[in-house]
Each structure stands twice: as C-alpha cells, then as structure tokens.
Amino acid sequence: MGDSSDFDILNFTRTRISPQRLALALRLSRAYCGRKIRAVRVSVALVGEARMQRLNRRWRGVDKPTDVLAFPAAPDFNTPRQERIAGEIVIAVPVARRQAREHGVTLEIELVRLAVHGFLHLAGFDHEKSKRTAQAMTNAQQHIMELLLIQRHGAASTHRGH
C-alpha cells in the first residue's frame, strides 16, 4: 500500500505533466488523512475546459468550468481484486493554468495543489459546510503543500505553498 500504482493518472490533454509529482502529493495527502481514508486507489483525470464544464453542470448544476471536482466511490465499491477505491479527482488543466498565473506559481504546483484539494474532499473534508470546516481543510491543504516543498527542496526550505 502506498506506491504510485495506487494512483491512476489519466491525462486527456496535450499538456505535459509529471505523474510522479501528482502521485507524491496523493501519497502525502493519504498519509496526512490517516484513518479518515482507508481506501487504496485514487484516479486523477486531467481534462479540458469543455469536459469540466459538462461535469460541473451535470453534478453540481453549475454551467461553467471549475478547477477541480472530487467523486467519492460508494463505500462498498471494490475492484475485481478487492482493492478499496477512494474515488476520482478531475482537474481542468486550462483553469489550473489561469490560476497558476494568478497565484504566481508554476502549472505543476497548481496541479499538485488541486490534486491535494480533491483528495481532501475524498477524505471527507468540505469547505462549503461551514467556516470551521473550511478552515480545517485550508490548514490540511497548507500542511500537505509544505510537506511537499520540504520533500522537493529539503528541510531548509521556508517557501509556503498556495
């Protein structure tokens, strides 16, 4: 449990991405969440704006693209090999690209942030319930992003994630 084969990263765009960086972000997210999420497998789909808009319209009733959607698997859903599935995270790459420019970060950092955000939703965090739950999710996301920066740059790094 815990290697990159636990994560299916499907890129439906022409944008080149590092699946290893996304897998690391998901592993750290799963470690952070501990008992909140016991499922093993997570799928991440990188999609274009039109596909994301269709998904957002169908599942949230909002007829515009969003940056990330998370679809938790049914609690009793297992694969034929009896692996527990956490769910799927869908990220709109064009939206992530715009947000990266707005935040002054690379596309890779923004994709990682969105993967972490989506994973936290799969683990039960919900920033739309209340200010308290929104703050808990923000704190978790910032902590995981800081862990990723330490992993990438060593313990001397003081840069904070977005």
Structural domains of the chain in order of their starting residue, each with its CATH number: 4-153 (3.40.390.30)
pLDDT at 3 over 50: no
* Mean pLDDT, range 39-59, rounded to an integer: 92
pLDDT at 142: 92
* Mean pLDDT, range 114-126, rounded to an integer: 89
pLDDT at 1: 40
Residue showing tokens 């274009």: 48
Query: pTM of the full predicted structure?
Result: 0.82
Convert the pLDDT of each residue in 26-37 to its tens digit.
Answer: 988 988 887 666
Place 125 in a pLDDT band, splitting at 50, 70 and 90: confident
Convert the pLDDT of each residue in 88-110 to its tens digit.
Answer: 999 999 999 999 999 999 999 99
Per the CB < 8 A criterion, the answer to whether 96 and 111 are in contact is yes
Per the CB < 8 A criterion, the answer to whether 48 and 12 are in contact is yes
Per the CB < 8 A criterion, the answer to whether 141 and 117 are in contact is yes
Q: Average model confidence (pLDDT) for the chain?
A: 83
* Mean pLDDT, range 36-44, rounded to an integer: 74
